[in-house]
Structure 1
């Protein structure tokens, strides 16, 4: 396949280009997250895997763009941005909200005849494990309290009125996207699923994470790590090693 990669894309950041990489890992951030969250992942996996970090509208250099309040619409636009990078096998990785977006992108790629090599989902219960949550309807204090509960960021940043005004609308929109998402029935993914989870995650139990098994026809594995929703911040080396080994087992580029 002739490469159609565009070096500059609002949706894609590539921190460590690698001509040696046999596959690309496309990373999807959590609610309120940004592409730069995956810079350490890219550094750890290069040059074995070339990491592409997805940048959703409304944050960092895209902060002037309107936020997207739908997982389906995020997936639709992200899929179109990712297609030009498919001159090498693509593996998808998403944490929390990003897990849902990654799974929806995988469905769209598969529907178009180019399924990803694999999907790695982290910190998210299966799409059919429903909880009635309404964090996006809380006031600002309620959203900050939820951020503190999950422990992914230093909530002291919200004490600054300018930062609060900049960040909270994005976080609220992301929570709305997740909490209004409803899985649409369809065939299971024709690629393997690797599910990563903190064993004390308040938003996804082990049993709920096992539900991802019904969403693939090509192999399922669940791995747990000590910790909560952002377990991967404390086990970065083990997580990146698990991803590297999983993708290598599928590409035959081990060692």
Structure 2
């Protein structure tokens, strides 16, 4: 399901650019609720709500990257205007695969891929896979990255989202393609200055996944940038899309 935030731009500028936003493992469209108010009015912010979360809580989960990406493609309504893709953490590799499929189908122009706190395809840590961790281990891992708040309702929220989180990690960790290829669209990779989850040069790894221009930005914050770090992140994304728009 695609969730549109804020009214679309009026008149002939309607849907001049759709910004398709994909969140971290287990999350839906809610993290992007306020984005439409903080970007130029010629950008239409669209959040992705996959099965198994928010209003789709009871729907069967998707556990392969190909199924996740093709599910999103199917939600797009035929040929559209230009599209930019944004992916946070797990959403980064998903957005990359969606961009590949859109470019292969030639149904719309992909003007930009923006990743934030995102591992590149195939970057799976050695040892036990995250989706195979026990509930306690998984919860501790999420708290450690800042993706889960170990407060009064932390365990309750985790109980509601655990299955979706596992499904998303499984999709990423079992993505078996040997050559992930590249996209034509330029890539902007954003990383928090205090990110303790990904390596220091992790954002630079995205450079090999585009035939176009690669740009790297660091902003204040840790690994989880959709919380307190969101205003700075949105500003970087909006500025990049404005530069892209001015250069067209």
Give the TM-score normalised by structure 1: 0.86
Further displaced range: 131-140 or 219-228: 131-140
Identify the residue that residue 92 of structure 2 maps to in structure 1.
99
Q: CA deviation at 1:49?
A: 1.1
Q: For 2:6, which of 6, 11, 16 is the aligned residue?
A: 16
Q: CA deviation at 1:233?
A: 2.3
Q: For 1:151, which of 146, 149, 153 is the aligned residue?
A: 146
Per-residue CA deviations over 1:47-102 (Å, capped at 9, x if unaligned) read 23110100010011111101111122100111121253x52210000000000110
Structure 2 SS opposite 1:45 = coil
Distance 1:58 1:115, change over 3 A: same
Q: Count residues in correspondence.
A: 241
| Structure 1 contact 128–211 (Cα < 8 Å) conserved | no
Task: Indicate whether 1:178 and 2:168 are aligned.
Answer: no
Distance of 1:251 and 1:104 partners within structure 2 = 23
Runs of 4+ in 1 over 6 A off after TM superposition: none
Q: CA deviation at 1:235?
A: 2.9
Per-residue CA deviations over 1:199-255 (Å, capped at 9, x if unaligned) read 23233223122111111111000101232211342332222121112112222289x
Structure 2 SS opposite 1:52 = strand
Distance 1:123 1:182, change over 3 A: farther
The structure with the largest helix share of the pair is 1
Q: CA deviation at 1:40?
A: 1.6
| Structure 1 contact 90–116 (Cα < 8 Å) conserved | yes
Give the TM-score normalised by structure 2: 0.89
Distance 1:229 1:182, change over 3 A: farther
| Structure 2 contact 92–120 (Cα < 8 Å) conserved | no
Q: CA deviation at 1:166?
A: 2.5
Identify the residue that residue 168 of structure 1 maps to in structure 2.
162
Aligned CA-pair RMSD: 2.1
Distance 1:169 1:179, change over 3 A: same
